[in-house]
A and B are shown apart, each in its own frame.
Chain A
Amino acid sequence: MTDENVLRVQGISKSFGGVTAVDNVSLAVKRGSITGLIGPNGSGKSTLFNLISGAEKKNPGGSIEFEGRAIDGLPPHRRSALGLGRTFQTPRLFTGMTVLENTMLAPRGQKGERPFVAPFRKRWEGQEIELAKKAQEQMTRLEIDKLYGKLTSEISGGQMKLAQLSTALMEDPKMLLLDEPTAGVAPRLAQDIFQSITDERQQKGTTFFIIEHRLEVLFKHVDTVFVMHQGRIIAEGRPESIVKDKKLIDAYLGS
Protein backbone atom coordinates (compact mmCIF):
# COMPACT_ATOMS: atom_id res chain seq x y z
CA MET A 1 0.00 0.00 0.00
CA THR A 2 1.48 3.32 -0.98
CA ASP A 3 0.22 6.45 0.63
CA GLU A 4 0.08 9.42 -1.69
CA ASN A 5 1.31 11.61 1.16
CA VAL A 6 4.98 11.46 1.95
CA LEU A 7 4.66 13.61 5.07
CA ARG A 8 1.80 13.69 7.53
CA VAL A 9 1.68 16.01 10.52
CA GLN A 10 -1.10 15.59 13.09
CA GLY A 11 -1.89 18.18 15.75
CA ILE A 12 1.63 19.28 16.69
CA SER A 13 2.44 22.38 18.71
CA LYS A 14 5.49 24.20 20.01
CA SER A 15 5.64 26.83 22.73
CA PHE A 16 8.59 28.95 23.74
CA GLY A 17 7.74 30.12 27.24
CA GLY A 18 4.45 31.94 26.75
CA VAL A 19 4.64 32.14 22.95
CA THR A 20 2.91 29.40 21.00
CA ALA A 21 4.93 29.46 17.80
CA VAL A 22 3.20 26.43 16.28
CA ASP A 23 -0.36 25.87 17.37
CA ASN A 24 -1.97 22.48 16.76
CA VAL A 25 -0.87 22.16 13.14
CA SER A 26 -2.00 19.31 10.93
CA LEU A 27 -1.04 18.96 7.30
CA ALA A 28 -0.09 16.47 4.63
CA VAL A 29 2.37 16.88 1.76
CA LYS A 30 1.86 14.88 -1.43
CA ARG A 31 4.66 12.70 -2.70
CA GLY A 32 6.47 14.31 -5.60
CA SER A 33 4.79 17.67 -5.12
CA ILE A 34 6.27 21.11 -4.75
CA THR A 35 4.39 22.53 -1.81
CA GLY A 36 4.69 26.08 -0.54
CA LEU A 37 4.44 27.42 3.00
CA ILE A 38 3.77 31.13 3.27
CA GLY A 39 2.80 33.49 6.04
CA PRO A 40 3.86 36.71 7.72
CA ASN A 41 7.11 37.05 9.65
CA GLY A 42 6.94 35.24 12.95
CA SER A 43 3.96 33.09 11.96
CA GLY A 44 5.83 29.91 12.90
CA LYS A 45 6.98 28.58 9.51
CA SER A 46 10.61 27.98 10.43
CA THR A 47 9.59 26.53 13.78
CA LEU A 48 7.33 24.06 11.99
CA PHE A 49 10.27 22.96 9.83
CA ASN A 50 12.41 22.61 12.93
CA LEU A 51 9.82 20.31 14.48
CA ILE A 52 9.64 18.17 11.34
CA SER A 53 13.42 17.88 10.99
CA GLY A 54 13.93 17.34 14.70
CA ALA A 55 16.08 20.43 15.31
CA GLU A 56 13.46 21.42 17.93
CA LYS A 57 11.33 19.14 20.11
CA LYS A 58 7.59 19.48 19.74
CA ASN A 59 5.28 19.77 22.75
CA PRO A 60 3.93 16.38 23.91
CA GLY A 61 1.04 15.17 21.75
CA GLY A 62 0.48 14.97 18.04
CA SER A 63 2.50 13.00 15.54
CA ILE A 64 4.83 13.36 12.56
CA GLU A 65 4.94 10.60 9.96
CA PHE A 66 7.39 10.39 7.10
CA GLU A 67 6.70 7.71 4.51
CA GLY A 68 4.17 6.10 6.82
CA ARG A 69 6.63 5.89 9.70
CA ALA A 70 6.41 7.85 12.96
CA ILE A 71 9.58 9.92 13.15
CA ASP A 72 8.89 12.23 16.07
CA GLY A 73 10.92 10.02 18.43
CA LEU A 74 13.98 9.94 16.17
CA PRO A 75 17.03 12.19 16.54
CA PRO A 76 17.62 14.62 13.65
CA HIS A 77 20.32 12.56 11.93
CA ARG A 78 18.09 9.50 11.79
CA ARG A 79 15.30 11.53 10.21
CA SER A 80 17.61 12.85 7.58
CA ALA A 81 19.02 9.37 7.01
CA LEU A 82 15.47 8.34 6.05
CA GLY A 83 15.65 10.86 3.23
CA LEU A 84 14.23 13.96 4.87
CA GLY A 85 16.62 16.80 4.12
CA ARG A 86 16.44 20.45 5.04
CA THR A 87 18.11 23.84 4.74
CA PHE A 88 18.14 26.65 7.26
CA GLN A 89 16.80 30.17 6.89
CA THR A 90 20.09 31.58 8.12
CA PRO A 91 22.51 29.39 6.20
CA ARG A 92 24.39 26.96 8.40
CA LEU A 93 27.49 26.08 6.49
CA PHE A 94 30.74 24.56 7.63
CA THR A 95 32.78 27.73 7.69
CA GLY A 96 36.19 26.11 8.01
CA MET A 97 35.58 24.16 4.83
CA THR A 98 35.47 25.18 1.19
CA VAL A 99 32.32 25.31 -0.92
CA LEU A 100 33.36 22.07 -2.62
CA GLU A 101 34.04 20.32 0.69
CA ASN A 102 30.64 21.46 1.98
CA THR A 103 28.93 20.03 -1.08
CA MET A 104 30.93 16.81 -1.02
CA LEU A 105 30.08 16.21 2.62
CA ALA A 106 26.38 15.73 1.96
CA PRO A 107 26.02 12.36 0.21
CA ARG A 108 25.06 9.51 2.48
CA GLY A 109 26.86 6.17 2.53
CA GLN A 110 30.34 7.42 1.67
CA LYS A 111 32.79 4.56 2.12
CA GLY A 112 35.56 6.87 3.23
CA GLU A 113 33.50 8.17 6.13
CA ARG A 114 34.52 5.16 8.19
CA PRO A 115 37.67 5.75 10.22
CA PHE A 116 39.30 2.45 9.29
CA VAL A 117 38.45 2.64 5.61
CA ALA A 118 39.55 6.26 5.30
CA PRO A 119 43.32 5.52 5.39
CA PHE A 120 42.97 3.23 2.37
CA ARG A 121 42.50 5.72 -0.42
CA LYS A 122 41.90 3.09 -3.09
CA ARG A 123 38.80 1.87 -1.35
CA TRP A 124 36.94 5.16 -1.60
CA GLU A 125 38.61 7.15 -4.35
CA GLY A 126 36.38 5.83 -7.12
CA GLN A 127 33.29 6.91 -5.25
CA GLU A 128 34.92 10.23 -4.43
CA ILE A 129 35.51 11.04 -8.09
CA GLU A 130 31.93 10.07 -9.00
CA LEU A 131 30.60 12.34 -6.29
CA ALA A 132 32.93 15.14 -7.35
CA LYS A 133 31.52 15.01 -10.88
CA LYS A 134 28.03 15.22 -9.49
CA ALA A 135 29.06 18.09 -7.21
CA GLN A 136 30.53 19.91 -10.17
CA GLU A 137 27.31 19.63 -12.17
CA GLN A 138 25.29 20.70 -9.18
CA MET A 139 27.49 23.69 -8.45
CA THR A 140 27.59 24.73 -12.09
CA ARG A 141 23.81 24.72 -12.27
CA LEU A 142 23.67 26.99 -9.23
CA GLU A 143 26.53 29.11 -10.58
CA ILE A 144 28.81 28.59 -7.60
CA ASP A 145 31.32 26.29 -9.30
CA LYS A 146 33.92 29.05 -9.49
CA LEU A 147 33.76 29.42 -5.72
CA TYR A 148 34.76 25.80 -5.17
CA GLY A 149 38.00 26.59 -3.33
CA LYS A 150 36.68 29.44 -1.18
CA LEU A 151 35.94 28.95 2.48
CA THR A 152 32.22 29.37 3.09
CA SER A 153 33.06 32.04 5.64
CA GLU A 154 34.44 34.10 2.75
CA ILE A 155 31.45 34.14 0.39
CA SER A 156 28.47 36.51 0.23
CA GLY A 157 25.13 35.91 1.92
CA GLY A 158 23.36 35.00 -1.31
CA GLN A 159 26.20 32.69 -2.28
CA MET A 160 25.84 31.03 1.11
CA LYS A 161 22.19 30.29 0.36
CA LEU A 162 23.22 28.74 -2.95
CA ALA A 163 26.00 26.71 -1.37
CA GLN A 164 23.55 25.40 1.18
CA LEU A 165 21.03 24.46 -1.48
CA SER A 166 23.74 22.72 -3.45
CA THR A 167 24.73 20.75 -0.35
CA ALA A 168 21.14 19.77 0.40
CA LEU A 169 20.52 18.62 -3.18
CA MET A 170 23.69 16.52 -3.16
CA GLU A 171 22.12 14.47 -0.40
CA ASP A 172 19.54 13.14 -2.88
CA PRO A 173 16.77 13.39 -0.33
CA LYS A 174 13.28 11.97 -0.87
CA MET A 175 11.88 15.16 0.56
CA LEU A 176 13.59 18.49 1.05
CA LEU A 177 12.45 21.25 3.40
CA LEU A 178 13.75 24.55 2.05
CA ASP A 179 13.56 27.59 4.30
CA GLU A 180 13.53 30.67 2.03
CA PRO A 181 15.91 29.33 -0.63
CA THR A 182 15.91 32.60 -2.59
CA ALA A 183 16.16 35.14 0.21
CA GLY A 184 19.05 37.46 -0.60
CA VAL A 185 19.57 35.94 -4.04
CA ALA A 186 19.44 38.08 -7.18
CA PRO A 187 16.05 37.94 -9.00
CA ARG A 188 17.27 36.13 -12.11
CA LEU A 189 19.02 33.51 -10.02
CA ALA A 190 15.88 33.12 -7.90
CA GLN A 191 14.08 32.03 -11.07
CA ASP A 192 16.92 29.64 -11.83
CA ILE A 193 16.77 28.15 -8.36
CA PHE A 194 13.10 27.34 -8.75
CA GLN A 195 13.79 26.02 -12.22
CA SER A 196 16.39 23.60 -10.85
CA ILE A 197 13.97 22.59 -8.10
CA THR A 198 11.39 21.77 -10.76
CA ASP A 199 13.98 19.86 -12.78
CA GLU A 200 15.08 17.93 -9.75
CA ARG A 201 11.50 16.94 -9.01
CA GLN A 202 11.05 15.88 -12.62
CA GLN A 203 14.20 13.77 -12.71
CA LYS A 204 14.16 12.20 -9.28
CA GLY A 205 10.62 12.62 -8.01
CA THR A 206 11.87 14.58 -5.02
CA THR A 207 9.19 16.23 -2.90
CA PHE A 208 9.82 19.87 -2.02
CA PHE A 209 8.28 21.76 0.88
CA ILE A 210 9.32 25.39 0.55
CA ILE A 211 8.99 28.43 2.77
CA GLU A 212 9.18 31.51 0.56
CA HIS A 213 8.32 35.18 0.74
CA ARG A 214 8.76 35.79 -3.00
CA LEU A 215 5.25 34.79 -3.89
CA GLU A 216 5.54 35.72 -7.58
CA VAL A 217 8.29 33.16 -8.09
CA LEU A 218 6.87 30.57 -5.72
CA PHE A 219 3.38 30.57 -7.23
CA LYS A 220 4.76 29.83 -10.69
CA HIS A 221 6.22 26.54 -9.53
CA VAL A 222 4.15 25.11 -6.68
CA ASP A 223 1.27 22.66 -6.80
CA THR A 224 -0.16 23.51 -3.39
CA VAL A 225 0.33 26.26 -0.84
CA PHE A 226 -0.26 26.30 2.90
CA VAL A 227 -0.82 29.66 4.54
CA MET A 228 0.29 30.04 8.13
CA HIS A 229 -0.75 32.78 10.51
CA GLN A 230 0.00 33.05 14.22
CA GLY A 231 1.09 29.46 14.46
CA ARG A 232 -1.91 27.99 12.65
CA ILE A 233 -2.56 26.81 9.13
CA ILE A 234 -5.34 29.09 7.97
CA ALA A 235 -5.65 27.97 4.35
CA GLU A 236 -4.54 25.37 1.87
CA GLY A 237 -5.04 25.31 -1.86
CA ARG A 238 -3.73 25.75 -5.35
CA PRO A 239 -1.84 28.98 -5.87
CA GLU A 240 -4.58 30.39 -8.16
CA SER A 241 -7.23 30.08 -5.48
CA ILE A 242 -4.94 31.41 -2.76
CA VAL A 243 -4.24 34.51 -4.84
CA LYS A 244 -7.95 35.13 -5.32
CA ASP A 245 -8.68 34.89 -1.63
CA LYS A 246 -8.75 38.55 -0.60
CA LYS A 247 -8.93 37.79 3.11
CA LEU A 248 -5.78 35.68 3.02
CA ILE A 249 -3.85 38.25 1.11
CA ASP A 250 -4.87 40.84 3.66
CA ALA A 251 -3.71 38.59 6.50
CA TYR A 252 -0.46 37.94 4.73
CA LEU A 253 0.34 41.47 3.70
CA GLY A 254 -1.41 43.08 6.63
CA SER A 255 1.05 42.19 9.36
Chain B
Amino acid sequence: MLSGTAVGNICNVSAMLSRESIALAYPAISVSVWVIGLAFAMLAGGIMGLVVSYPALRVKEEWFLSMILLVGGETFRIVVTNTPQIGCGFNGLAGITTPFYWLSSYFPSGPLQAEVPTGLYAAVIVALALGCFVFAQKICNSPYGRLLKSIRDDKVAAESLAKDVSRVRKQIMVIGSVMAGLAGALYVYYIGVATPEDYIPALTFSIWVMMILGGFANNRGLLVGTFVITMLDRGSLVSGILLQSYLANLNPNLIVYGRYMVEAVILLLLLVFRQKGIFPETRIKTKAYTLFDFKKNNNAEPSNSPGEGPQTGGAASG
Protein backbone atom coordinates (compact mmCIF):
# COMPACT_ATOMS: atom_id res chain seq x y z
CA MET B 1 0.00 0.00 0.00
CA LEU B 2 2.81 2.36 0.92
CA SER B 3 4.40 1.62 -2.44
CA GLY B 4 1.38 3.24 -4.04
CA THR B 5 2.95 6.59 -3.21
CA ALA B 6 6.15 6.18 -5.16
CA VAL B 7 8.96 8.56 -4.36
CA GLY B 8 8.82 11.62 -6.56
CA ASN B 9 5.10 11.40 -6.69
CA ILE B 10 4.28 12.30 -3.13
CA CYS B 11 2.93 15.71 -4.02
CA ASN B 12 -0.19 14.92 -5.99
CA VAL B 13 -3.75 14.65 -4.76
CA SER B 14 -3.92 10.85 -4.74
CA ALA B 15 -0.78 10.67 -2.58
CA MET B 16 -2.38 13.17 -0.23
CA LEU B 17 -5.56 11.10 -0.04
CA SER B 18 -3.67 7.88 0.56
CA ARG B 19 -1.70 9.52 3.39
CA GLU B 20 -4.99 10.48 4.96
CA SER B 21 -6.46 7.03 4.58
CA ILE B 22 -3.37 5.39 6.09
CA ALA B 23 -3.59 7.78 9.02
CA LEU B 24 -7.21 6.85 9.49
CA ALA B 25 -6.70 3.09 9.28
CA TYR B 26 -3.44 2.56 11.18
CA PRO B 27 -3.24 4.35 14.54
CA ALA B 28 0.15 2.85 15.40
CA ILE B 29 1.73 3.97 12.13
CA SER B 30 0.12 7.36 12.48
CA VAL B 31 1.43 8.02 15.97
CA SER B 32 4.88 6.55 15.44
CA VAL B 33 5.44 8.46 12.20
CA TRP B 34 4.52 11.58 14.10
CA VAL B 35 6.98 10.82 16.90
CA ILE B 36 9.73 10.05 14.41
CA GLY B 37 8.84 13.21 12.54
CA LEU B 38 9.21 15.32 15.68
CA ALA B 39 12.53 13.68 16.49
CA PHE B 40 13.87 14.36 13.00
CA ALA B 41 12.62 17.94 13.09
CA MET B 42 14.44 18.51 16.36
CA LEU B 43 17.58 16.90 15.01
CA ALA B 44 17.42 18.92 11.79
CA GLY B 45 16.78 22.09 13.79
CA GLY B 46 19.75 21.37 16.03
CA ILE B 47 22.04 20.77 13.07
CA MET B 48 20.87 23.96 11.38
CA GLY B 49 21.44 25.86 14.61
CA LEU B 50 24.95 24.50 14.88
CA VAL B 51 25.73 25.34 11.27
CA VAL B 52 24.50 28.93 11.47
CA SER B 53 26.24 29.45 14.78
CA TYR B 54 29.58 29.46 12.98
CA PRO B 55 29.05 32.62 10.90
CA ALA B 56 27.05 34.03 13.81
CA LEU B 57 29.99 33.68 16.17
CA ARG B 58 32.17 35.74 13.90
CA VAL B 59 30.10 38.90 14.10
CA LYS B 60 30.54 41.43 16.85
CA GLU B 61 27.16 43.14 16.76
CA GLU B 62 23.87 41.45 17.56
CA TRP B 63 22.32 43.35 14.67
CA PHE B 64 24.50 41.54 12.19
CA LEU B 65 23.65 38.28 13.84
CA SER B 66 19.92 38.84 13.35
CA MET B 67 20.55 39.83 9.75
CA ILE B 68 22.54 36.66 9.11
CA LEU B 69 19.84 34.50 10.63
CA LEU B 70 17.06 36.27 8.75
CA VAL B 71 18.87 36.08 5.43
CA GLY B 72 19.81 32.45 6.10
CA GLY B 73 16.19 31.53 6.80
CA GLU B 74 14.93 33.39 3.78
CA THR B 75 17.53 31.75 1.52
CA PHE B 76 16.47 28.36 2.78
CA ARG B 77 12.80 29.16 2.19
CA ILE B 78 13.42 30.30 -1.39
CA VAL B 79 15.49 27.23 -2.15
CA VAL B 80 12.73 24.97 -0.82
CA THR B 81 10.04 26.88 -2.72
CA ASN B 82 11.90 26.44 -5.97
CA THR B 83 13.04 22.86 -5.48
CA PRO B 84 9.93 20.64 -5.71
CA GLN B 85 12.07 17.60 -4.89
CA ILE B 86 12.55 18.81 -1.31
CA GLY B 87 9.03 19.58 -0.12
CA CYS B 88 6.74 19.76 -3.11
CA GLY B 89 7.72 23.38 -3.80
CA PHE B 90 5.37 26.29 -3.46
CA ASN B 91 2.26 24.22 -2.72
CA GLY B 92 3.96 22.19 -0.06
CA LEU B 93 3.23 18.75 1.19
CA ALA B 94 -0.46 18.37 2.05
CA GLY B 95 -2.50 15.63 3.66
CA ILE B 96 -0.59 15.66 6.94
CA THR B 97 -3.14 14.74 9.56
CA THR B 98 -2.84 15.07 13.30
CA PRO B 99 -1.49 11.91 14.94
CA PHE B 100 -4.98 11.29 16.37
CA TYR B 101 -6.88 11.50 13.10
CA TRP B 102 -7.89 7.82 13.45
CA LEU B 103 -9.99 8.77 16.50
CA SER B 104 -12.50 10.33 14.15
CA SER B 105 -13.66 6.85 13.09
CA TYR B 106 -15.02 6.42 16.62
CA PHE B 107 -17.29 9.43 16.08
CA PRO B 108 -18.91 8.62 12.75
CA SER B 109 -20.81 11.85 12.52
CA GLY B 110 -21.39 15.16 14.18
CA PRO B 111 -18.96 17.85 15.22
CA LEU B 112 -16.97 15.51 17.49
CA GLN B 113 -15.59 13.73 14.46
CA ALA B 114 -13.25 16.58 13.68
CA GLU B 115 -13.02 18.17 17.12
CA VAL B 116 -11.81 15.21 19.15
CA PRO B 117 -8.58 14.51 17.23
CA THR B 118 -7.78 18.20 16.86
CA GLY B 119 -8.62 19.00 20.46
CA LEU B 120 -6.51 16.17 21.77
CA TYR B 121 -3.64 17.22 19.56
CA ALA B 122 -3.98 20.82 20.74
CA ALA B 123 -3.72 19.54 24.30
CA VAL B 124 -0.54 17.66 23.41
CA ILE B 125 0.91 20.83 21.88
CA VAL B 126 0.08 22.82 24.99
CA ALA B 127 1.72 20.15 27.15
CA LEU B 128 4.90 20.20 25.06
CA ALA B 129 4.92 24.00 25.04
CA LEU B 130 4.65 23.96 28.83
CA GLY B 131 7.53 21.50 28.93
CA CYS B 132 9.68 23.91 26.90
CA PHE B 133 8.61 26.77 29.14
CA VAL B 134 9.54 24.90 32.31
CA PHE B 135 12.89 23.93 30.80
CA ALA B 136 13.55 27.54 29.81
CA GLN B 137 12.58 28.77 33.28
CA LYS B 138 14.85 26.26 34.91
CA ILE B 139 17.92 27.03 32.85
CA CYS B 140 17.32 30.77 33.16
CA ASN B 141 17.10 30.61 36.95
CA SER B 142 20.40 28.87 37.37
CA PRO B 143 24.09 29.65 37.03
CA TYR B 144 23.66 28.94 33.33
CA GLY B 145 21.11 31.74 33.09
CA ARG B 146 23.64 34.03 34.72
CA LEU B 147 26.20 32.98 32.16
CA LEU B 148 23.81 33.69 29.29
CA LYS B 149 22.95 37.15 30.59
CA SER B 150 26.60 38.00 31.14
CA ILE B 151 27.42 37.17 27.53
CA ARG B 152 24.49 39.25 26.37
CA ASP B 153 25.71 42.20 28.44
CA ASP B 154 29.46 42.16 27.79
CA LYS B 155 31.25 39.46 25.87
CA VAL B 156 34.73 40.79 26.59
CA ALA B 157 34.14 40.99 30.33
CA ALA B 158 32.66 37.48 30.34
CA GLU B 159 35.79 36.19 28.62
CA SER B 160 37.93 37.90 31.23
CA LEU B 161 36.11 35.73 33.78
CA ALA B 162 37.14 32.53 31.96
CA LYS B 163 33.76 32.05 30.33
CA ASP B 164 33.96 30.27 26.98
CA VAL B 165 31.66 32.62 25.11
CA SER B 166 31.76 30.86 21.73
CA ARG B 167 30.89 27.54 23.28
CA VAL B 168 27.94 28.92 25.22
CA ARG B 169 26.63 30.77 22.19
CA LYS B 170 26.80 27.57 20.19
CA GLN B 171 24.98 25.64 22.92
CA ILE B 172 22.16 28.10 23.22
CA MET B 173 21.79 28.41 19.47
CA VAL B 174 21.40 24.63 19.24
CA ILE B 175 18.94 24.49 22.16
CA GLY B 176 16.85 27.27 20.63
CA SER B 177 16.91 25.65 17.20
CA VAL B 178 15.88 22.26 18.55
CA MET B 179 12.88 23.95 20.16
CA ALA B 180 12.11 25.77 16.92
CA GLY B 181 12.33 22.48 15.00
CA LEU B 182 9.90 20.92 17.44
CA ALA B 183 7.54 23.88 17.15
CA GLY B 184 7.69 23.73 13.35
CA ALA B 185 6.85 20.04 13.24
CA LEU B 186 3.99 20.44 15.72
CA TYR B 187 2.64 23.31 13.67
CA VAL B 188 2.76 21.37 10.42
CA TYR B 189 0.81 18.48 11.93
CA TYR B 190 -1.71 20.96 13.26
CA ILE B 191 -2.19 22.93 10.09
CA GLY B 192 -2.05 19.86 7.84
CA VAL B 193 0.38 21.13 5.26
CA ALA B 194 4.10 21.86 5.16
CA THR B 195 4.59 24.78 2.85
CA PRO B 196 7.47 27.24 2.75
CA GLU B 197 4.94 30.04 2.32
CA ASP B 198 4.09 29.77 6.00
CA TYR B 199 7.58 30.90 6.95
CA ILE B 200 7.90 34.26 5.28
CA PRO B 201 9.96 36.94 7.08
CA ALA B 202 6.74 38.43 8.49
CA LEU B 203 6.66 35.42 10.83
CA THR B 204 10.03 36.47 12.22
CA PHE B 205 8.63 39.90 12.94
CA SER B 206 5.52 38.48 14.56
CA ILE B 207 7.74 36.50 16.89
CA TRP B 208 9.77 39.62 17.48
CA VAL B 209 6.62 41.52 18.47
CA MET B 210 5.74 38.68 20.87
CA MET B 211 9.12 39.13 22.52
CA ILE B 212 9.01 42.90 22.73
CA LEU B 213 5.44 42.81 23.97
CA GLY B 214 6.20 40.37 26.76
CA GLY B 215 9.48 41.89 27.77
CA PHE B 216 13.06 40.83 27.23
CA ALA B 217 14.51 38.08 29.35
CA ASN B 218 11.18 37.35 30.95
CA ASN B 219 9.76 33.98 30.03
CA ARG B 220 6.38 34.61 31.61
CA GLY B 221 6.07 37.84 29.68
CA LEU B 222 6.95 35.92 26.57
CA LEU B 223 4.02 33.59 27.19
CA VAL B 224 1.68 36.58 27.38
CA GLY B 225 3.18 38.13 24.25
CA THR B 226 2.85 34.85 22.39
CA PHE B 227 -0.73 34.44 23.53
CA VAL B 228 -1.76 37.94 22.43
CA ILE B 229 -0.16 37.77 19.00
CA THR B 230 -1.30 34.21 18.34
CA MET B 231 -4.88 35.10 19.30
CA LEU B 232 -4.64 38.05 16.95
CA ASP B 233 -3.31 35.83 14.19
CA ARG B 234 -5.79 32.97 14.55
CA GLY B 235 -8.63 35.24 15.59
CA SER B 236 -8.32 37.43 12.51
CA LEU B 237 -8.20 34.38 10.28
CA VAL B 238 -11.30 32.79 11.78
CA SER B 239 -13.30 35.99 12.10
CA GLY B 240 -12.43 36.93 8.53
CA ILE B 241 -13.95 33.71 7.30
CA LEU B 242 -16.94 33.87 9.64
CA LEU B 243 -17.79 37.46 8.79
CA GLN B 244 -17.69 36.63 5.12
CA SER B 245 -20.75 34.44 5.50
CA TYR B 246 -22.69 37.37 6.91
CA LEU B 247 -21.36 40.15 4.76
CA ALA B 248 -21.07 38.86 1.25
CA ASN B 249 -19.28 41.98 0.03
CA LEU B 250 -16.56 41.84 2.65
CA ASN B 251 -13.13 40.93 1.45
CA PRO B 252 -11.83 38.56 4.18
CA ASN B 253 -8.25 39.53 3.39
CA LEU B 254 -9.01 42.89 4.90
CA ILE B 255 -9.31 41.26 8.29
CA VAL B 256 -6.80 38.46 7.79
CA TYR B 257 -4.03 40.81 6.71
CA GLY B 258 -5.28 43.62 8.88
CA ARG B 259 -3.57 41.88 11.77
CA TYR B 260 -0.22 43.03 10.42
CA MET B 261 -1.42 46.59 10.84
CA VAL B 262 -2.51 45.87 14.40
CA GLU B 263 0.85 44.30 15.11
CA ALA B 264 2.61 47.33 13.69
CA VAL B 265 0.57 49.64 15.91
CA ILE B 266 1.35 47.49 18.96
CA LEU B 267 5.04 47.63 18.07
CA LEU B 268 4.98 51.41 17.67
CA LEU B 269 3.14 51.93 20.95
CA LEU B 270 5.63 49.70 22.75
CA LEU B 271 8.63 51.46 21.25
CA VAL B 272 7.26 54.80 22.37
CA PHE B 273 5.89 53.92 25.80
CA ARG B 274 7.53 50.71 26.98
CA GLN B 275 10.82 49.91 25.33
CA LYS B 276 11.44 47.06 27.73
CA GLY B 277 8.11 45.37 27.19
CA ILE B 278 5.15 45.00 29.50
CA PHE B 279 6.96 42.85 32.03
CA PRO B 280 10.36 43.86 33.36
CA GLU B 281 13.38 41.59 33.31
CA THR B 282 13.45 39.48 36.45
CA ARG B 283 16.26 38.61 38.78
CA ILE B 284 17.85 35.21 38.43
CA LYS B 285 16.08 33.31 41.16
CA THR B 286 18.50 31.05 42.93
CA LYS B 287 18.99 30.48 46.63
CA ALA B 288 21.84 33.01 46.59
CA TYR B 289 19.35 35.78 47.28
CA THR B 290 17.91 34.17 50.38
CA LEU B 291 21.05 35.06 52.32
CA PHE B 292 20.64 38.72 51.48
CA ASP B 293 16.90 39.19 51.24
CA PHE B 294 16.45 37.71 54.64
CA LYS B 295 18.89 40.08 56.25
CA LYS B 296 17.18 43.03 54.71
CA ASN B 297 13.60 42.08 55.44
CA ASN B 298 13.88 40.66 58.86
CA ASN B 299 16.22 41.85 61.53
CA ALA B 300 15.15 39.10 63.87
CA GLU B 301 16.93 35.79 64.08
CA PRO B 302 16.86 34.04 60.75
CA SER B 303 14.49 31.10 60.71
CA ASN B 304 14.83 28.32 58.21
CA SER B 305 12.26 29.86 55.93
CA PRO B 306 13.16 28.98 52.37
CA GLY B 307 11.26 32.00 51.01
CA GLU B 308 12.61 33.47 47.82
CA GLY B 309 12.23 37.02 49.01
CA PRO B 310 10.27 39.81 47.39
CA GLN B 311 10.45 40.58 43.69
CA THR B 312 11.51 44.16 44.22
CA GLY B 313 15.16 44.49 43.39
CA GLY B 314 16.02 47.71 45.15
CA ALA B 315 18.02 47.97 48.32
CA ALA B 316 19.01 51.22 49.93
CA SER B 317 22.09 52.66 48.32
CA GLY B 318 25.05 53.24 50.56
Listed in ascending order, the chain A residues whose CB lies under 8 Å from chain B are 53, 55, 75-78, 80-81, 85-86, 88, 92-98, 100-101, 104-106, 108, 110-115, 117-119, 121, 124-125, 128-129, 131-133, 135-136, 143-151, 155-156, 159, 167, 171
Contact = CB atoms under 8 A, between A and B. Distances in A.
A77 B164 contact: yes
A140 to B, nearest CB: 10
B313 to A, nearest CB: 4
Chain B interface secondary structure, helix, strand, loop or mixed?
helix
B146 A101 contact: yes
Contacts of B171: 115
Given A118-B139, A148-B292, A77 B165 contact: yes
Given A96-B217, A113-B147, A119 B135 contact: yes
Nearest to B135: A119
Interface residues of B, number: 47
Nearest to A94: B153
Given A96-B152, A100-B288, A80 B314 contact: no
B154 A94 contact: yes
Residue in B217, B281, B289 whose Cβ sees the most chain A Cβ within 10 Å? B289
B291 A55 contact: no
**A-B pairs, 6 with minimum CB distance:** A112-B143, A118-B144, A132-B288, A118-B142, A94-B153, A92-B157
Contacts of A86: 160
B149 A101 contact: yes
A101 B284 contact: yes
Nearest to A86: B160
A96 B317 contact: no
Contact of B318 (A85, A104, A159): A159
Contact of A145 (B142, B163, B165, B292): B292
A128 B175 contact: no
Nearest to A103: B288
Contact of B292 (A94, A100, A155): A100
A57 to B, nearest CB: 13
A245 B172 CA distance: 56
A144 B289 CA distance: 15
Given A77-B163, A94-B157, A167-B161, A118 B315 contact: no
Contact of B149 (A94, A145, A156): A94
Residue in B139, B146, B150, B288 whose Cβ sees the most chain A Cβ within 10 Å? B288
B220 interface: no
Given A98-B283, A105-B150, A115-B171, A77 B313 contact: no
B147 A125 contact: no
B73 interface: no
Contacts of A156: 317
B143 A118 contact: yes
A139 B307 CA distance: 22
B260 to A, nearest CB: 31
12 contacts: A85-B160, A94-B154, A96-B152, A96-B281, A97-B153, A119-B135, A124-B142, A128-B287, A147-B317, A148-B315, A149-B293, A155-B317
Nearest to A135: B288
A94 B150 contact: yes
Contacts, number: 157
A128 B139 contact: no
B156 interface: yes
Interface of B: 135, 138-139, 142-147, 149-150, 152-154, 156-165, 171-172, 175, 217, 281, 283-284, 286-293, 296, 312-318
Contact of A136 (B159, B175, B291): B291
Contacts of A93: 153-154, 157
Nearest to A120: B138
Nearest to A81: B162
Given A96-B152, A118-B138, A144 B161 contact: no
Given A119-B138, A124-B142, A88 B315 contact: no
B292 to A, nearest CB: 4
A132 B159 contact: no
Contacts of B289: 100, 132, 148-149
Nearest to B144: A118
Nearest to A162: B318
Contacts of B161: 77, 80, 85, 105-106, 167, 171
A121 B163 contact: no
Contacts of A136: 291-292
A147 B318 contact: yes
A104 B139 contact: no
Contacts of B144: 112-115, 117-118
B236 to A, nearest CB: 35
Contacts of A167: 161
Contacts of A125: 286-287
A143 B165 CA distance: 30
A80 B159 contact: yes
Nearest to A110: B143
Nearest to A76: B159
A99 to B, nearest CB: 9
Nearest to B143: A112
